[in-house]
Amino acid sequence: MQTPHKFSIGYFLAALAALLALQVLLAPTPPRLSYLEFKRALQAGKIERVVISDELIHGWFKPEAVAAGQPRAFVTVRVPDPELVKELEARGVDFSGHYESPLLKTLLTWVIPALFVVGLWAFLYRRLTVGSGVMAFGKSRARIYAEKSTGVTFDDVAGQEEAKEELREIVEFLKNPKKFRLLGGRLPRGVLLVGPPGTGKTLLAKAVAGEANVPFFSISGTEFVELFVGVGAARVRDLFAQAQAKAPCIVFIDELDALGKARGIGGVAGGHDEREHTLNQLLVEMDGFDTSKGVIILAATNRPELLDPALLRPGRFDRQILVDRPDVRGREAILRVHAKHVKLAPDVDLKVLAQRTPGFVGADLANVVNEAALLAARKNKNQVEMADFEEAIDRIVAGLEKKNRVINPRERQIVAVHETGHALVAAFTPGADRVHKISIIPRGIGALGHTQQLPTEDRYLMTRQELLAKIDVLFGGRAAELLVFGEVSTGAQDDLRRATEIARAMVLEYGMGETLGPAAFPRVRPRFLPEPWGYTPDGTREYSEATARALDLETKKILDERMAHVLQLLRDKRPLLERIAALLLEKEVLEGEEFWRLVREATPAPAS
Ligand code: ADP
Ligand code: MG
Ligand code: ZN
For the stretch 289-301, pLDDT in tens is: 777 778 889 999 8
Q: What is the maximum span of the chain, computed from C-alpha positions, in angstroms?
A: 117
One domain for residues 239 and 167 = yes
Q: How far is the CA of 363 from the centre of ligand 2 (A)?
A: 10
What's the CA-to-centroid distance between 199 and ligand 1, angstroms? 5
Q: Give mean pLDDT, residues 141-150.
A: 62
CA 303–ligand 2 middle distance (angstroms): 12
Q: Is 546 within the bounds of a domain?
A: yes
Closest CA to 481 of 558, 415, 427: 415
Residue 264 domain-assigned (yes or no) = yes
Q: Are residues 152 and 95 in the same domain?
A: no
Cα of 220 vs centre of ligand 2, distance in Å, is 9
How many CA atoms are closer than 13 Å to the CA of 347, on its beta-carbon side? 8
Q: Name the residue at shortest CA distance from atom 1 of ligand 1.
A: 198
Co-location of 421 and 293 in the same domain: no
316 and 373, same domain (yes or no): no
**From its phi and psi, is residue 266 left (phi > 0), alpha (psi between -120 and 50) or beta?**
left
The predicted pLDDT at position 269 comes to 45
Is the residue at 357 inside a domain? yes
Alpha-carbon distance of 372 to 383, in angstroms, equals 10
pLDDT digits (tens, 9 = 90+) for 87-120: 888 888 888 887 767 777 777 778 888 888 888 8
What lies within 8 Å, CB to CB, of 596 at 6+ separation is 427, 435, 606
Q: Give the count of domains, the chain.
A: 4
Query: Could you tell me the CA-to-CA distances from 383 to 332, 348, 372, 388, 400 in Å, in that order?
Result: 19, 10, 10, 10, 23
* Residue whose CA lies nearest to ligand 1 atom number 18: 362
Q: What is the mean pLDDT of residues 564-592?
A: 91
Residue 60: the pLDDT is: 87
In this predicted structure, what is the pLDDT of residue 432? 85
Mean pLDDT on 123-149: 54
Predicted pLDDT of residue 425: 95
Distances (CA, A) of 134 to 229, 434, 548: 9, 58, 53
Residues above pLDDT 90, as percent of the chain: 23
Residue 37 has pLDDT above 50, yes or no: yes
Which of 346, 370, 398 terminates a domain? The answer is 398
Ligand nearest to the CA of 473: 3
Of the listed ranges 251-265, 410-424, 504-518, the least confidently predicted one is: 251-265
> What is the band of 24 on the pLDDT scale with cuts at 50, 70, 90?
low
Residue at 1 is within a domain: no
Query: Which listed ligand is nearest to 493 at the C-alpha?
Result: 3
Residues 351 and 460 in one domain: no
Alpha carbon distance 106, 109 (integer Å): 5
Residues with CB under 6 A from ligand 1: 157-160, 197-203, 300, 334, 337, 362-363, 366
Same structural domain for residues 378 and 459?
no
- List the catalytic residue out of 276, 332, 419, 481: 419
pLDDT given at position 406: 43
| pLDDT score for 574 | 94
Tell me the CATH number at 571.
1.20.58.760
Phi-psi region of 539 (alpha: psi -120 to 50; beta: other; left: phi over 0): left
Please tell me the number of Cα atoms within 13 Å of 487 on its side-chain side: 4
Q: Are 458 and 564 in the same domain?
A: yes
pLDDT grade for 131, boundaries at 50, 70 and 90:
very low
Band (558; pLDDT cuts 50, 70, 90): very high
| CATH code (residue 41) | 3.30.720.210
Question: In this structure, is residue 301 part of a structural domain?
Answer: yes
pLDDT in the model for residue 139: 41
Q: How far is the CA of 522 from the centre of ligand 3 (A)?
A: 29
What was the pLDDT predicted at 456?
53
| Predicted confidence (pLDDT) at residue 455 exceeds the cutoff of 80 | no
Strand pairing category for 56-61 and 73-77: antiparallel
Peptide bond connecting 188 to the previous residue in cis, omega within 30 degrees of 0:
no
| Nearest to 145, CA basis, from 242, 274, 255, 266 | 242
pLDDT class of 181 with cuts at 50, 70, 90: confident
Q: Considering the domain boundaries, does residue 134 fall inside one?
A: no
The whole-number pLDDT of residue 316 equals 85
Distance CA 551, CA 559 (A): 12
As a whole number, mean pLDDT of residues 410-419 equals 88
Whether 419 is catalytic? yes
Asked if residue 169 and residue 58 are part of one domain, the reply reads no
What ligand 1 atom has the least distance to the C-alpha of 203? 6
Q: Does 607 reside within a domain?
A: no
Please report the pLDDT score of residue 454 as a whole number.
Answer: 60
Confidence grade of residue 234 (pLDDT, cut at 50, 70, 90): confident
Q: CATH number, domain at 182?
A: 3.40.50.300
DSSP 82: T
Tell me, what's the pLDDT at 445?
40
Q: Which residue's CA is the closest to the ligand 1 atom numbered 15?
A: 363
Give the number of whichever ligand sits closest to the CA of residue 331: 1
pLDDT mean across residues, the chain: 80
pLDDT at 147: 72
Ligand 2 center from residue 254 Cα (angstroms): 6
The domain boundary, picked from 373, 398, 423, lies at: 398
Range of the structural domain that residue 168 is part of:
143-322
How much is the average pLDDT of 478-493? 90
Answer yes or no: do 181 and 203 share one domain: yes
Pairing status of strand 450-454 against strand 295-301: unpaired
Residue 401 has pLDDT above 50, yes or no: no
Give the phi and the psi of residue 128 in degrees, each rounded to 5.
-60, -50
pLDDT of residue 267: 44
pLDDT for the residue 428: 92
Helix (H, G, I), strand (E, B) or coil at 97: strand
Give the number of whichever ligand sits closest to the CA of residue 324: 1
pLDDT exceeds cutoff 70 at 132: no
What's the order of all strands across the beta sheet hosting 216-220? 145-147, 216-220, 249-254, 295-301, 190-194, 319-322
Whether 377 maps to a domain, the answer reads: yes
Give 318 Cα–ligand 2 centroid separation in angstroms.
20
The model's confidence at residue 555, banded by pLDDT at 50, 70 and 90, is very high
pLDDT bin (cut points 50, 70, 90) of residue 126 is low
From atom 6 of ligand 1, which residue's Cα is the shortest distance away? 200
Residue 65 gets the label, from left (phi > 0), alpha (psi -120 to 50) or beta, of: alpha
DSSP 541-601: --S-HHHHHHHHHHHHHHHHHHHHHHHHHHHHTHHHHHHHHHHHHHHSEEEHHHHHHHHHH
Whether 318 and 332 map to the same domain: the answer is no
Residue where a domain terminates, one of 365, 398, 431:
398
Average pLDDT over residues 445-474: 73
Percent of the chain with pLDDT over 70: 80
Ligand 1 atom at shortest distance from the alpha carbon of 204 = 6
- Which of 470 and 461 is assigned the larger pLDDT? 470
Q: Using CA positions, which residue lies closest to atom 21 of ligand 1?
A: 362
452 & 579 share domain: yes
Beta carbons of 202 and 363 less than 8 angstroms apart: no
From the alpha carbon of 206, which atom of ligand 1 is closest? 6
Q: Is it the case that residue 570 has pLDDT exceeding 90? A: yes
Contact criterion met (CB below 8 Å) for 30 and 77: no
- Could you read off the pLDDT of 320-365 as tens digits, one per residue? 898 887 777 888 999 999 999 899 989 999 988 887 776 678 998 9
Classify each residue of 505-532 as buried b or exposed e, where b means 16 or more C-beta atoms within 10 Å of its C-beta. Answer: ebbbeeebbeebeeeebbbeeebbbeee
Rounded distance between C-alpha atoms, residue 344 and residue 259, angstroms: 43
Q: With 50 as the cut, is the pLDDT of residue 142 above it?
A: no
Residue 428, phi then psi, degrees to nearest 5: -105, 15
Q: Which residues contact 541 (CB under 8 A, 6 or more apart)?
A: 522, 524, 548
Nearest residue by C-alpha to atom 11 in ligand 1: 363
- The answer to whether residues 444 and 563 belong to one domain is yes
Specify the pLDDT at position 144. 63
Q: Ligand 1 pocket check: which of 145, 156, 203, 331 to mutate, most ligand atoms within 8 Å of Cβ?
A: 203
CATH number, domain of 391, equals 1.10.8.60
- List the beta bridge partners of residue 307: 261
pLDDT digits (tens, 9 = 90+) for 378-400: 999 899 999 999 989 888 876 53
